[in-house]
């Protein structure tokens, strides 16, 4: 595997000797003990130090630790891990900047531990280290949701934790079976040809938002605070993409799971009225592209999945920052409640539009030069149906995220709201990611050099530009022609989470009522029987019972004499 061109020799000769994610995790644990300027400095400096440590590890360094009969490998440098860890570190910095003056300290601390654990996953060379960081991520992300401090956030965090504990149990079962079968804990490429590998694959897919539990993303993420959702959008699903890329490249079933996620996200996002849920469903959609590419499994497809993940973290966070700024300044999150906000929030609107163009793969943005790697990989393999679905899905992305989100939030009707611009730190965070969206789009060859295997691909070919402009033009035309049908209404969309949020709750309540009634009947019957037994016992052994009565001494002597005579006669006869 070729080493990334730009970062290959940075800090060469120095190895930290510990997992790079520990820097961010340790900083997160220290945050509650700092206040004022010191806390802000720590929030901004810790991700930079983490990034330096990530680059120092590079792709060659390894760290081995002895644990029982196994050699743990918590630091195993590899090209894909370096790419993911780099963007995770950048995300932690920009996310921390965005949250600097608004987030509760528990949210920042949990967010940094969460991000550090995600970086830990990207460097894990064994399944035990990976599992430990995986579960720390689950706890950290749960605290990020919970720290929003609302009743809905508490309920959502509890459901989120249950889903991810289930995923952790499945993953741990798979790891245990694999170790028993192979006596190896190495995290390498696998095939789902036995129960152990199937369980590991299922554990990874659950975190990716794959069916049937895709709804946990739209259920939990929008209930976090404006800054909390920024952290959540970046790490859980992308670490899942990384683990699938390393563990299951070329697994055919992933192609069709990915296609399901692509269209599932589009359909639900088009139906949705809540702007943050629109973007949450869009996460599932975008991860679907990456999962599909991993299923294709060629060098170009895997490179495309990594590049898409890198770009997606940036433009998705930008969109969520824009929506979060609107939520913080207006207190509104439904499309029916907002509109015309470009009048007083022009900077937020511009950044939201840049993010919308990038996610739509608009030429000269990051999405155009990364997502096209995946569609090109499908075409190269002759997967006509897959290529057609991915192209159609690209039009769907433009409909729900490229047009719908900015149109209903910043344009369309005038809601009468006149909120001021978001605070300066939030604006700076958005401008940084807007710059990266455009810079990657304008200079793709420089960006390609940080990938493990820089692709020999020319994004700005004439045919690609024409086809993409045609796709976006007709998708935009369809949106405005069908705009009356796109009108938002005060409705909700039922998803699979209804089964464990409502249906199972109803079943459990009904079961509780029925079993409670049955329990009362059994309890009453037992109580009656016990009372009868006690009365009989009392009748015999009580103060006035047969065995408790006093007997005259003369009568007792008579009975003793009779018993003694009986013994003598019995002894004489026998």
Q: What is the pLDDT of residues 231-248, one digit of tens each?
A: 999 999 999 999 999 999
Q: What is the pLDDT averaged over residues 539-568?
A: 70
User: Exposed (0-12), middle (13-18) or buried (19+): which is 479, by Cβ within 10 Å?
Assistant: buried
User: Between these two residues, 394 and 508, which has the higher pLDDT value?
Assistant: 394
Q: Judge if the upstream peptide bond of residue 18 is cis by omega within 30 degrees of 0.
A: no
Residue 491 main-chain phi, psi, to 5 deg: -125, 170
Mean pLDDT of all residues in the chain?
86
User: Between these two residues, 62 and 204, which has the higher pLDDT value?
Assistant: 204
Query: In the structure encoding, which two tokens stand for residue 370, read together?
Result: 């990364």
Q: What is the pLDDT averaged over residues 445-466?
A: 88
CA–CA separation, 14 vs 101, rounded Å? 35
Q: What does the pLDDT read at residue 6?
A: 45
Q: Does 478 score more than 90 pLDDT?
A: no
Strand partners, 63: 75
Nearest alpha carbon to residue 237 among 211, 217, 254, 256: 217
Q: Is 74 helix (H, G, I), strand (E, B) or coil?
A: strand
pTM: 0.84
**Positive or negative: CA dihedral 28, 30, 35, 36:** negative
Q: What is the pLDDT averaged over residues 322-341?
A: 89
Which ranges of 125-252 would DSSP assign to H, the alpha helix? Answer: 127-146, 151-182, 195-208, 216-220, 226-247
> Among the listed ranges 309-318, 484-493, 523-532, which one has the minimum average pLDDT value?
484-493
Q: What is the pLDDT of residues 14-71, one digit of tens each?
A: 567 788 999 999 999 999 999 989 999 999 999 999 999 998 887 667 777 877 778 8
Please, what's the largest Cα pairwise distance for the chain? Answer: 127
Strand partners, 70: 67
Q: What does the pLDDT read at residue 5?
A: 45
Place of tokens 């059994």: 522
Nearest alpha carbon to residue 229 among 324, 349, 156: 324
Q: What is the pLDDT averaged over residues 75-101?
A: 92
Q: What is the pLDDT averaged over residues 459-484?
A: 80
Nearest alpha carbon to residue 401 among 516, 320, 505, 495: 320
CA–CA separation, 126 vs 570, rounded Å? 84
The answer to whether residues 192 and 253 touch, using CB atoms and an 8 Å cutoff, is yes
For 322-335, give the DSSP string. Answer: HHHHHHHHHS--BG
The answer to whether residues 304 and 271 touch, using CB atoms and an 8 Å cutoff, is no
The answer to whether residues 228 and 147 touch, using CB atoms and an 8 Å cutoff, is yes
Strand partners, 334: 274
Convert 390-423 to b/e letters by CB count within 10 Å (16 or more is b).
beebbbbbbbbbbbbbbbbbbebeebebebeebb
CA–CA separation, 536 vs 524, rounded Å? 19
Q: What does the pLDDT read at residue 2?
A: 42
Instruction: Give the total residue count for the chain.
Output: 574
Query: In the structure encoding, which two tokens stand for residue 517, read together?
Result: 């009634």
Q: Give the per-residue SS3 of 215-229.
A: CHHHHHHHHCCHHHH
Query: In the structure encoding, which two tokens stand for residue 208, read together?
Result: 């990716």
Query: In the structure encoding, which two tokens stand for residue 313, read together?
Result: 């973290």
**Domain boundaries, given as residue ranges, for the chain:** 251-487, 501-573
Q: What is the pLDDT of residues 106-142, one digit of tens each?
A: 999 999 999 999 999 999 989 999 999 999 999 999 9
**Positive or negative: CA dihedral 250, 62, 26, 167:** positive
Q: What does the pLDDT read at residue 398?
A: 83
User: Between these two residues, 167 and 570, which has the higher pLDDT value?
Assistant: 167
For 397-456, give the DSSP string. Answer: HIIIIIIIHHHHHHSSS-----PPPPPHHHHHHHHHHHHHHHHHHH-HHHHHTTSSS---
């Amino acid at each position: 595997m070729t080493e990334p061109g730009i970062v290959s020799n940075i800090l060469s000769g120095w190895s930290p000797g510990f997992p790079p994610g520990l820097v961010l995790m340790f900083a997160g644990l220290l945050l509650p003990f700092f206040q004022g300027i010191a806390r802000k400095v720590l929030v901004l400096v810790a991700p930079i130090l983490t990034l330096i440590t990530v680059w120092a590890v590079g792709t060659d360094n390894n760290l081995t630790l002895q644990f029982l009969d196994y050699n743990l490998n918590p630091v195993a440098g590899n090209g894909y891990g370096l790419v993911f860890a780099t963007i995770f570190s950048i995300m932690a910095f920009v996310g921390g900047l965005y949250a600097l003056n608004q987030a509760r300290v528990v949210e920042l601390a949990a967010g940094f531990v969460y991000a550090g654990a995600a970086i830990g996953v990207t460097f894990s060379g064994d399944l035990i280290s990976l599992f430990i960081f995986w579960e720390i991520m689950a706890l950290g992300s749960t605290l990020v949701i919970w720290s929003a401090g609302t009743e809905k956030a508490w309920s959502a965090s509890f459901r989120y934790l249950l889903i991810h504990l289930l995923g952790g149990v499945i993953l741990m079962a798979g790891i245990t079976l694999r170790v028993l079968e192979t006596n190896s804990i190495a995290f390498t490429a696998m095939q789902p040809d036995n129960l152990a590998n199937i369980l590991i694959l299922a554990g990874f897919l659950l975190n990716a938002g794959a069916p049937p539990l895709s709804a946990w993303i739209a259920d939990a993420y929008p209930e976090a605070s404006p800054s909390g959702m920024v952290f959540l959008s970046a790490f859980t699903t992308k670490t899942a993409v990384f683990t699938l890329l390393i563990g299951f490249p070329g697994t055919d079933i992933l192609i069709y799971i990915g296609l399901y996620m692509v269209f599932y996200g589009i359909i639900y996002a088009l139906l949705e009225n809540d702007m943050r849920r629109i973007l949450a469903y869009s996460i599932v959609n975008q991860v679907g592209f990456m999962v599909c590419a991993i299923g294709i499994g060629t060098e170009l497809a895997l490179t495309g999945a990594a590049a898409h993940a890198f770009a997606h973290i940036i433009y998705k966070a930008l969109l969520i920052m824009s929506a979060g700024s609107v939520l913080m300044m207006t207190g509104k999150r439904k499309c029916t409640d907002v509109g015309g906000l470009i009048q007083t929030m022009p900077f937020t609107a511009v950044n939201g539009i840049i993010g919308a163009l990038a996610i739509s793969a608009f030429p000269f943005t990051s999405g155009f030069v990364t997502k096209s790697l995946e569609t090109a990989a499908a075409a190269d393999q002759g997967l006509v149906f897959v290529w057609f679905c991915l192209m159609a899905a690209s039009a769907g992305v433009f409909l729900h995220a490229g047009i719908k989100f900015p149109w209903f939030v910043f344009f369309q009707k005038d809601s009468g709201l006149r909120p001021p611009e978001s605070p300066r730190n939030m604006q700076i965070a958005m401008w940084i990611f807007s710059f990266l969206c455009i810079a990657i789009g304008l200079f793709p060859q420089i960006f390609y050099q940080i990938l493990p295997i820089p692709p020999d691909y020319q994004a700005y070919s004439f045919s690609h530009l024409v086809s993409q402009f045609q796709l976006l033009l007709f998708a935009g035309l369809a949106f405005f022609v069908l705009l009356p049908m796109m009108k938002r209404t005060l409705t909700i969309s039922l998803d699979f989470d209804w089964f464990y949020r409502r249906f199972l709750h109803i079943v459990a309540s009904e079961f509780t009522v029925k079993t409670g009634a049955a329990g009362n009947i059994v309890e009453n019957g037992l109580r009656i029987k016990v009372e009868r037994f006690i009365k009989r016992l009392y009748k015999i052994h009580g103060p006035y019972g047969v065995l408790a009565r006093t007997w005259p001494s003369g009568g007792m002597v008579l009975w003793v004499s009779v018993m003694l005579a009986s013994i003598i006669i019995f002894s004489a006869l026998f």
